[in-house]
Structure formats: structure tokens, C-alpha cells
Amino acid sequence: MPIPTTRCVSRAASALLLAAFAIPLQRPDGWETLVFGRVPANQVTFSEVGLHIRVDRSAGPLVFPLPASRLVRRVQASGRVRGAVRLEPGQRQGQRGADDYVLRIGLVEAGSRTLGRFERLTAPAWVRRLFALAPPHTGISQVSFYNVANATSSIGTMRQHPLSDLLHEQVVAAVDASGAFHIDHDFGTERRVLAVWLSSDGDDTQSSFEVTLERLELE
């Protein structure tokens, strides 16, 4: 049997560093539930199947701060949806009055932007928590969301969210006829990520549905 060389060990270590990091979805450990002002909150549960979100004309983010910041180039996820965002004839998902998605997977990216003294006093609680995810004396650059839409025709749509220049969105997947969705999105360049930010929304369209996120990996 050949004896492993130092070079082989180095390659093995490099492979481990590049391996996907699986976000835990079976237990609430490490997850934080936030609220958007007076908007009714989603109901969130965890099981062996995964993270389950019940939306009833409600909304609210779930945040998972990473144990340490990671360079990420790719996000992969899969799950199932029961129900859908309710759109009126002629409505386009993401527009005003229809700004709901069954799932937004957000990556909080490290950067230099911080809150000023006045902003810390006046910003909503969820904004303050967002900036608190950055290590001391550092900041964030943005939250990049990768959305699951109702229809495949929305895939590829990109925008800066009108509510905040911190929030950037891209539709990368759609729910299929069976209710399943799959995300496999490569950014093309590495980004330093501080936390994962999940959001399922039905408050804008008065929608009710359920989402089970069965797998979420950062690579």
C-alpha cells in the first residue's frame, strides 16, 4: 500500500475546504426568527424531513449566522411546496402588489457598510440585526436573494429591491407541477458570506401555502 505523501494530505485538506457546507434544517439550533413590524409571522417547525414554513397571509425572515464566514461560489437547495403565491390575472410576480415568493434564499455578504449612529436608533429591528451579523469593526455589502417563483418564465429576473438598496434578488428556480423545486446556482466568483437569510412571503398577495426546505448547501 503506498504511503500518503505530504502533497496528498495537502490535496485532501484542500478538498475538504472546498466541500459543500450543509445548513442544518432538522433542528432549530442556530436559527433566529425575526418579524417585519406588524406583519403576521409565519409558523416555523423543524423535523427529520427538513425546515417547514407555513405561510398564512404572513411573512418573516429566518436567519442562520454561519459559525465563521465562508467563501461561497455556489448554492444548492431542494424542497417542496403545497399551495402557491396567489396572483391575479395580469399580475407579474415581484411587482408591487405581488411581491411574494414561496422562498427566497438570501446570503448576507461581508463588506464595509455599517449603520451610523442615527440609523442605529431609527432602523427597524431586522435591519439592525442584519448589520449585527458582521464581526466587530466590519460591515456588510448586501443580501443576495435567490428566489423560487411560480413559473419558469420568471427565471433569470433580477432587481435591486425597491425597499432597500441592500437587497438584491434573482429568480433562479420555479415550482414544478408536482410541487418540487431545485436550486443549483453558481455565482461565477466567490463571495464571503456571513449568514443565510430565508424568507417566505404571502402578506402582499394574501396567499397561504406551505414550504418544506429539505436541503440547503453552500459550496
SS3 label, residue 16 = helix
For the chain, the domain total comes to 1
Is beta strand 167-174 parallel, antiparallel or unpaired with respect to 139-149? parallel
Residue 39 within a domain: yes
Residue 5 within a domain: no
Q: Each residue of 150-177: pLDDT tens digit?
A: 999 999 999 988 878 889 999 999 999 9
Residue 9 within a domain: no
Residues across the chain: 219
CATH number of 180's domain: 2.60.120
Residue 2 within a domain: no
Residue 15 within a domain: no
Residue 60 within a domain: yes
Residue 211 within a domain: yes
Q: Each residue of 60-118: pLDDT tens digit?
A: 999 999 999 999 999 999 999 999 999 998 889 988 889 999 999 999 999 998 888 88
Pairwise CA distance, residues 81 & 29, whole Å = 23
Contacts 24+ apart (CB under 8 A), 128-132: 129/32, 129/34, 129/63, 130/166, 130/197
What domain range includes position 97?
21-218
